[in-house]
Amino acid sequence: MSGELTVSPPLIDECEVVPRTLCGPGPSDYWPSVVEALTRPVLTFSTDEYFKVVDDIRNCLKYVFQTQSDLVLAMSGAGHTGMEAVICNLLGPGETLLIAGRGIWDDRACEMAKRYGIKTVVTKVPPHTTFVEQDLEPMLRRIRPAALFITHGDSSTGTIQDLSWVGKLCQKYGALLLVDTVVSIGGAPFLMDAWAVDAVYTSSQKALSGPAGISPIAFSKLAERKIQTRKHDPPFYFDIKMLSKQWNCYGDTRFYHHTMSPPLMWALRASLMELCKETLPASWARHRRVMLHFHKRLSEMPVQFYVPDPMHRLPTITTISLPEGYDAVKFAKYMANELKVVIMAGLGPTAPGGRVLRVGLMGANACEEVADRVVQAMADTLSAMRRSKL
């Protein structure tokens, strides 16, 4: 040995985790089948079993996104991986990205695009509402961007954007439509092909009730042509041209790009199978039913909805304004530590003022029993914190 060790091994104690019901904006509790999937045998690249799992995931994703496109796969990484991949594969330096901003994720997309030398133009509406055609058409007509980025369900504000008209509007002005569905897929209707969406990504830890770290993504035929003819090269790790070969998107390649996480592949497959077994319409209906039940219970409490118009409220995440004098961070901390129910304070535009809570009822936790538990925990916390002020 050429030298002495200068760093000693650390002494690490066991980390005991108190079980809690996860009702924040993510992650969600796992389906039992996902827990089991995480213990499945390790998959190794180039085996038939590996590509059977790959094919299963892709077929499920075509159903979940509602697309006939072949360019459908999953990225190694959190939801931000999908966000960055759709941007850097479809736009290059000097091109213009129009961003429809109403929450923190649109701000993140803007920051990512700027780092690639992409010109960004942001148009905004108040964070408690969503866009209408009159908000976007003048900007598309004037700027003629290469693409429009918009968030479907926004977990920082609790709003959901009607996308049924946006794709056709983008086509009118020659812009691709890029959509974030991280917190909406599986919990609210999304129809990629019918709505003329060109690129979409999601993540597995929200309404899919799986672990974070793997992000489904899909591209339309129009987006695929743009990728094949682009003049720039995105980062190696995000290059969809190469990843499409690893994921055997065209049925004739078994290309090695990087080592995927076998437990995350098994887990994503299991969570997608749960959704396919339930069916999209049934899952959408369940999330909406539980949301309405939760909102009815909330209307009996001394709190207000951050999003006043029910049509703009996201089925998977509800944003709630606490009464004057309450601190959202302390409120959420009390619920987690004392009542073992996790919710979260506001983020991005809902953070200022410190009175907004974000409650997620999605995936495995989208049921009336969990909704009632959250309501009771909130009522107990309101009472406890009121007594502490006396």
Across the range 278-302, mean pLDDT stands at 97
Across the range 151-170, mean pLDDT stands at 98
> In the prediction, which pLDDT does 252 show?
79
For the chain, percent of residues with pLDDT exceeding 90? 94
pLDDT exceeds cutoff 70 at 388: no
> In the prediction, which pLDDT does 386 show?
80
Q: Band the pLDDT of 345: cuts 50, 70, 90.
A: very high
Q: Band the pLDDT of 1: cuts 50, 70, 90.
A: low
Rounded to 5°, the CA angle 296-163-299 comes to 10
- Tens of pLDDT, residue by residue over 58-68, are 999 999 999 99
Euclidean distance between CA atoms 340 and 334, whole angstroms: 9
Beta strands in the chain (DSSP E): 21-22, 72-76, 96-101, 119-124, 147-151, 153-154, 159-160, 176-180, 199-201, 214-219, 304-305, 317-321, 341-342, 344-345, 356-360
Across the range 325-335, mean pLDDT stands at 96
Q: Band the pLDDT of 3: cuts 50, 70, 90.
A: confident
Statement: 32-277 belongs to CATH 1.10.8.10? no
pLDDT exceeds cutoff 60 at 390: no
- Tens of pLDDT, residue by residue over 197-229, are 999 999 999 999 999 999 999 999 999 999 999
> In the prediction, which pLDDT does 2 show?
72
Across the range 41-66, mean pLDDT stands at 94
pLDDT exceeds cutoff 80 at 249: yes
Q: Rounded mean pLDDT of the chain?
A: 96
What residue ranges do the domains of the chain occupy? 21-26+279-389, 32-277
> In the prediction, which pLDDT does 45 show?
84
pLDDT exceeds cutoff 70 at 293: yes
pLDDT exceeds cutoff 50 at 384: yes
115 appears as a binding residue in the annotation: no
**What are the residues whose beta carbons fall under 8 Å from the beta carbon of 243, sequence distance 6 or more?**
73, 75, 257
Across the range 75-90, mean pLDDT stands at 97
CATH topology of domain 21-26+279-389: Aspartate Aminotransferase, domain 1 (3.90.1150)
